[in-house]
Amino acid sequence: MTFNGFPPDGLALLACLPTLDSASFAAERGNWEQNLLDPARNIVADLGAWLAKHVSPGLVAVPKVNGSIAPIHRDLRFNPHGPHYKDHLLFRWWEGIPKKTAPTLFLRLDPDRIGFASGVTFASTDRWRAVVGDTRTAAGLCQLINDIRRDTSDVDIAGADLKRVPAPFSSEHPGANLLRHKTMFQLRWAEELPADVSTHRLVAFSAARLARLADLHRWLVANIGV
């Protein structure tokens, strides 16, 4: 099937999912599957084909829950009284094995926002520090980040866990802030949900934004991916 948009009924359901309990969700299952899950499968497949052609043939798209589609159920083990369901859809296309630590491109759909990201969870902090600790390599990564920031508003870099630059690196190192990352690196931004969200044109809209992340993704695969 070809992606034809997320229908308004699906977006309305997405907004109210955190208010539902299991019984209420069961009553909405038909709406969920028709207006959110089926379009989710289709956009994963359509964008996956585009990414494989234009970014990297190694990018994997698995159009199912726990593949490229994150589960909509929340993990309630640490907050049993919290919402049962998330208020967003999260999609991923990854390159490498295992999936958990493979460089990944993300798309997040909220009821009124859409977000894009490129990142990696570290298989080894030492590997990240060895790569980013090299001044020339760090300068190249910083240039890629600056290029994305030049064309994109409100870019956020997530994962700087440490308050200080770790020894033996100097705070003057060109990758000083990047060296503060201990477990993951992710460059991301979000913008207003486009009117095209309920049409097939959301694929082209999203592809144009993911294309901005292509060079960064390739860098992560070449330097950090296993």
The residues that bridge with 107 in the sheet, in sequence order, are 91, 116
CB-based contacts of 146, cutoff 8 Å, min separation 6 = none
Q: Domain holding 56: CATH number?
A: 3.30.930.20
For the CA atoms of 120, 92, 187, 225, the dihedral, rounded to the nearest 10 degrees, stands at: 30
Helix (H), strand (E) counts: the chain: 9, 5
Distance CA 42, CA 203 (A): 10
Residue 1, in any domain of the structure: no
Contact call for residues 69 and 91 (beta carbons, < 8 A): yes
Contact call for residues 83 and 206 (beta carbons, < 8 A): no
Parent domain of 104 = 8-224
Residue 160, in any domain of the structure: yes
CB-based contacts of 196, cutoff 8 Å, min separation 6 = 5, 202, 205
- DSSP string of 78-103, one letter each residue: S-TTS-SB-SSEEEEEE-SSSGGGS-
Tokens coding 16 = 């109210």
For each of the chain's 226 residues, which pLDDT tens digit applies?
799 999 999 999 999 999 999 999 999 999 999 999 999 999 999 999 999 999 999 999 999 999 999 999 988 788 877 899 999 999 999 999 999 999 999 999 999 999 999 999 999 999 999 999 999 999 999 999 999 999 999 999 999 999 999 999 999 999 999 999 999 999 999 999 999 999 999 999 999 999 999 999 999 999 998 6
Residue 86, in any domain of the structure: yes
The residue written with tokens 């060079």 in the block is 215
Contact call for residues 222 and 122 (beta carbons, < 8 A): no
Q: Looking at residue 182, what DSSP letter applies?
A: S
The tally of domains found in the chain comes to 1
Distance CA 176, CA 166 (A): 9
Query: pLDDT value at position 1?
Result: 76
Residue 196, in any domain of the structure: yes
Query: Whole-structure pTM over 0.85, yes or no?
Result: yes
Query: pLDDT value at position 225?
Result: 86
Residue 3, in any domain of the structure: no
Give the side-chain half-sphere CA count within 13 A for 121. Answer: 7
